[in-house]
Amino acid sequence: MKRTNLLAATALVLVLACSAGAAPKIKALIIDGQNNHDWKSTTPLLKKMLEETGLFSVDVATSPPKGGDMSGFKPDFAAYRLVLSNYNGTDWPEETKQAFEAFVRNGGGFIVYHASDNPFRNWKEYNEMIGLGGWEGRNEKDGPYFHWRDGMLAADEAPGPGGHHGKAHPFKVTIRNASHPITRGLPEEWMHVTDELYDKMRGPGKNMTVLATGYADPATGGIGEHEPLLLTITYGKGRVFHTMLGHGPEAISCVGFIATLQRGAEWAATGKVTQKVPGDSPTADRISTRQ
Ligand code: ZN
């Protein structure tokens, strides 16, 4: 065999060996472009977290800025198995909304991240997907408040605005469902870094499972209730993981945030979690962050 042919054959064997060894990546899409939060800093960090699992290849679809022409904003949701929203902005075109509904209904995974539970108050299907939402004028017409009382989720029909948080501070996250694939094996209580603790969230709360709560302490401006912070929702054949945590880069440096996001992403995309519990998880009295 000539040397050039030998090299070509060797290269071919290497290519085959590599492609046989690595499972194809799950295609994921992050949506951003409008948000009253620092999406330009958080999107690259979220992208890195998903890619670090070795499971995902991640694209980003950035919408026109607020006030821009949204008519051409049509991400190809159907090309992905997971969509993570880092978007809190103006309405999407009708065609985009319908494509997104079809994506989740047909079995797509969806991650609702922090303020992406704020927009689209008048989009009924979106509110069913996120389970709970806040701000944007939400009130009792959008569904009850939900609190964790006496070991179970309780709907509260009291009237009033939806969506509120006290002063950002470190707080304890308490797992309320330790048998779910996302939370299995994680510490049942862990200290989260300084972040906003959303309370008074409202919504239809249909097909919703609360995985973890935080106590909205009146001492830091909270409402004195244990509030849902990590949720799953099923919508059609689709799986939704909703994390209310993660106001900014510091908040998402928490290993508890990272682990639940990575595990939530795998679960939303596949229905299973194969990732190990991280060895540097926070504990009930010790924060743990990664830079
Ligand atoms: Zn925030």
pLDDT, tens only, 120-169: 999 999 999 999 999 999 999 999 999 999 999 999 999 999 999 999 99
- What average pLDDT does range 187-196 have in this prediction? 98
Ligand 1 mean position to 75 CA, how many Å? 25
pLDDT over 90, % of the chain: 92
Q: Is residue 144 exposed (0-12), middle (13-18) or buried (19+ Cβ within 10 Å)?
A: middle
Is pTM beyond 0.75 here?
yes
Residue 87 contacts residue 55 (beta carbons within 8 Å) = no
**What is the band of 23 on the pLDDT scale with cuts at 50, 70, 90?**
confident
Whether the pLDDT of residue 111 is over 80: the answer is yes
Ligand 1 mean position to 115 CA, how many Å? 6
Ligand 1 mean position to 274 CA, how many Å? 30
**233 Rama sector, left if φ>0, alpha if ψ -120 to 50, beta otherwise:** beta
Query: Would you state the pLDDT for residue 143?
Result: 98
Whether the pLDDT of residue 236 is over 60: the answer is yes
Residue 56 amino acid letter = F
Ligand 1 mean position to 21 CA, how many Å? 41
- What average pLDDT does range 46-50 have in this prediction? 98
Ligand 1 mean position to 79 CA, how many Å? 30
Ligand 1 mean position to 71 CA, how many Å? 27
**What is the band of 203 on the pLDDT scale with cuts at 50, 70, 90?**
very high
Per-domain residue ranges for the chain? 26-50+78-270
Ligand 1 mean position to 133 CA, how many Å? 13
**What is the band of 22 on the pLDDT scale with cuts at 50, 70, 90?**
confident
Ligand 1 mean position to 203 CA, how many Å? 18
**What is the band of 3 on the pLDDT scale with cuts at 50, 70, 90?**
low
Ligand 1 mean position to 272 CA, how many Å? 29
- List, for residues 167-187, the tens digit of each pLDDT value: 999 999 999 999 999 999 999
Query: Would you state the pLDDT for residue 291?
Result: 80
- Rounded to the nearest integer, the mean pLDDT of the chain is 95
Cα–Cα dist 215/75, whole Å: 37
Ligand 1 mean position to 252 CA, how many Å? 11
CATH number attached to the domain at 26-50+78-270: 3.40.50.880
Ligand 1 mean position to 229 CA, how many Å? 13
Query: Would you state the pLDDT for residue 6?
Result: 55
Ligand 1 mean position to 147 CA, how many Å? 20
Whether the pLDDT of residue 61 is over 60: the answer is yes
Residue 165 is inside which H or E element, if any? strand 164-165
- Residues with Cβ within 8 Å of 105's Cβ and at least 6 positions away in sequence, in order, are 235, 236, 237, 238
